[in-house]
């Protein structure tokens, strides 16, 4: 197949003056190199496209591909991860990973939790703080955990995210609102073990590849998988495979969430145990990082005996199978070119 690659390249944004944190979700150059090398080893022709602006220009010029391998995160707004999928659907081009609805839904953590709750799946209670004075009215028991409503890669999460007093809650919410220009999500802090489950496939064909437990080393920021802990995970974190008995309920819950919310091709679900010892859904990541050794999903696959090449092949095969169904490529108007 002719496969185009859409991505936001971290170095390009840094060169333009963006900070390390602002570019945290974007791809390193060696990630794109690894994806492209795997696609070529699988027999596909590749073309690097880049960000949504570059994609728009090429589509208008008439460029088309059999499939676009999309890892572009976008740069602003709750719908930023939906921009490339929406544009590709408008031009009837097949692509990997989440559709516009799922991409926007999962980035908006509160909306995603409402859907999970409606599905009958356990997720911590929460409140959304949209202005500093609303923090005074949060009626959840301390300790609480505060994070931005719509960020990835643990942006906005550090050692101060866990708060134990009303004053600290108000201070943290005010910080999130000012620094990230978006609401704060407030949840009860879950004190138990933390896990991430890797999944491949779509709908009823999706499977749990494996589960890793996140363990923080001495010198890491306490309590959570913070931005710093993620960025320096090789030095600050350990990832331990869990036994089958522990993994079974976690993977069943992750699969139910993945299928219920409409995840496609591959992704991750993060869970944590509460004080009651039961697992709760934290987040669903339908656009997973794909660095072979630094990103969680490839690490899960490696631990489970699934090679990086096989992971990329599974993603492409899942997306290609969907592309053969006209309903998956733009609805009733599928396969019709724009005039």
**Predicted local distance difference test score (pLDDT) of residue 103:** 98
58-97 pLDDT, tens per residue?
A: 999 999 999 999 999 999 899 999 999 999 999 999 999 9
Average pLDDT over residues 177-191: 97
**Predicted local distance difference test score (pLDDT) of residue 336:** 47
Q: Phi and psi (nearest 5°) for 161?
A: -70, -25
The full DSSP string for 123-190 is ----EEE-SGGGGGG---PSSEEEEETT--TTTT-STTSEE-SHHHHHHHHHHHHHHHSSPEEEEEPP
109 preceded by cis ω (within 30°)?
no
Q: Which helix (H) or strand (E) holds 86?
A: helix 83-90
Quick check: 328 pLDDT over 90? no
Distances (CA, A) of 113 to 7, 12, 84, 119, 120: 27, 34, 24, 10, 11
**Predicted local distance difference test score (pLDDT) of residue 31:** 97
In sequence order, the 6+-apart residues with CB closer than 8 A to the CB of 112 are: 105, 106, 261, 283, 284
Query: Residues spanned by CATH 3.30.1490.20 within the chain?
Result: 125-188
Query: Residues spanned by CATH 3.40.50.20 within the chain?
Result: 2-96
**Predicted local distance difference test score (pLDDT) of residue 324:** 83
- Residues 1 and 312: their CA atoms lie apart, in Å, by 14
Contact assessment for residue 296 and residue 231, using Cβ atoms and an 8 Å cutoff:
no
Of all residues in the chain, what percent carry a pLDDT higher than 70? Answer: 96
Q: Which fold has domain 125-188?
A: Dna Ligase; domain 1 (3.30.1490)
Of all residues in the chain, what percent carry a pLDDT higher than 90? Answer: 92
298-319 pLDDT, tens per residue?
A: 999 999 999 999 999 999 999 9
Distances (CA, A) of 328 to 233, 264, 300, 325: 37, 11, 28, 5
Quick check: 57 pLDDT over 60? yes
pLDDT category of residue 330 using cuts at 50, 70 and 90:
very low
Query: Residues spanned by CATH 3.30.470.20 within the chain?
Result: 194-323
- Residues 277 and 192: their CA atoms lie apart, in Å, by 7
pLDDT category of residue 339 using cuts at 50, 70 and 90:
low
- Residues 236 and 216: their CA atoms lie apart, in Å, by 6
pTM, two decimal places: 0.93
**Predicted local distance difference test score (pLDDT) of residue 153:** 87
- Give the number of C-alpha atoms closer than 13 A to the C-alpha of residue 182, restricted to the C-beta side: 19
Sheet containing strand 279-285, edge to edge, reads 237-241, 207-216, 194-200, 266-273, 279-285
Q: What CATH architecture applies to the domain 194-323?
A: 2-Layer Sandwich (3.30)
- Residues 251 and 256: their CA atoms lie apart, in Å, by 8
Write b or e for each residue in 205-221: b if 16 or more Cβ atoms lie within 10 A of its Cβ, otherwise e: ebebbbbbbbebeeebb
Please, what CATH class does the domain formed by 2-96 belong to? alpha beta
Average pLDDT over residues 11-16: 94
Quick check: 170 pLDDT over 60? yes
């Amino acid at each position: 197949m002719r496969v185009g690659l859409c991505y936001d390249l971290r170095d390009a944004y840094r060169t333009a003056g963006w900070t390390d944190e602002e570019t945290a979700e974007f791809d390193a150059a060696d990630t794109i190199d690894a994806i492209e090398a795997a696609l070529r080893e699988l027999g596909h022709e590749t073309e690097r496209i880049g960000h949504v602006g570059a994609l728009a220009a090429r589509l208008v010029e008439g460029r088309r591909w059999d499939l676009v391998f999309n890892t572009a995160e976008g740069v602003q707004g709750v719908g930023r991860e939906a921009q490339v999928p929406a544009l590709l659907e408008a031009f009837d081009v097949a692509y990997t990973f989440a559709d516009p609805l799922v991409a926007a839904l999962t980035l908006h953590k509160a909306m995603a939790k409402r859907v999970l709750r409606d599905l009958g799946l356990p997720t911590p209670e929460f409140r959304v703080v949209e202005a500093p004075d609303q923090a005074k009215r949060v009626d959840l028991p301390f300790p609480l955990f505060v994070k931005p409503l719509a960020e990835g890669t643990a942006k906005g999460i550090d050692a101060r995210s866990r708060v134990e007093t009303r004053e600290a809650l108000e201070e943290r919410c005010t910080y999130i609102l000012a620094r990230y220009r978006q609401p704060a999500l407030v949840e009860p802090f879950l004190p138990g073990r933390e896990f991430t489950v890797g999944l491949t496939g779509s709908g009823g064909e999706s499977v749990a590849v494996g589960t890793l437990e996140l363990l923080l080393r001495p010198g890491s920021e306490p309590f959570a998988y913070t931005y710093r802990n993620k960025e320096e995970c090789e030095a600050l974190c350990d990832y331990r495979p869990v036994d089958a008995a522990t993994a079974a309920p976690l993977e069943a819950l992750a699969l139910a969430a993945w299928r219920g919310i409409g995840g496609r091709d591959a992704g991750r679900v993060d869970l944590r145990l509460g004080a009651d010892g039961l697992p709760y859904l934290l987040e669903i990541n339908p656009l997973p990082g794909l660095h072979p050794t630094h990103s969680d999903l490839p690490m899960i696959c490696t631990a489970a005996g699934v090679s990086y090449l096989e992971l990329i092949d599974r993603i492409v095969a899942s997306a290609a199978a969907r592309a053969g169904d006209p309903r998956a490529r733009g609805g009733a108007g599928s396969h019709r070119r724009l005039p």
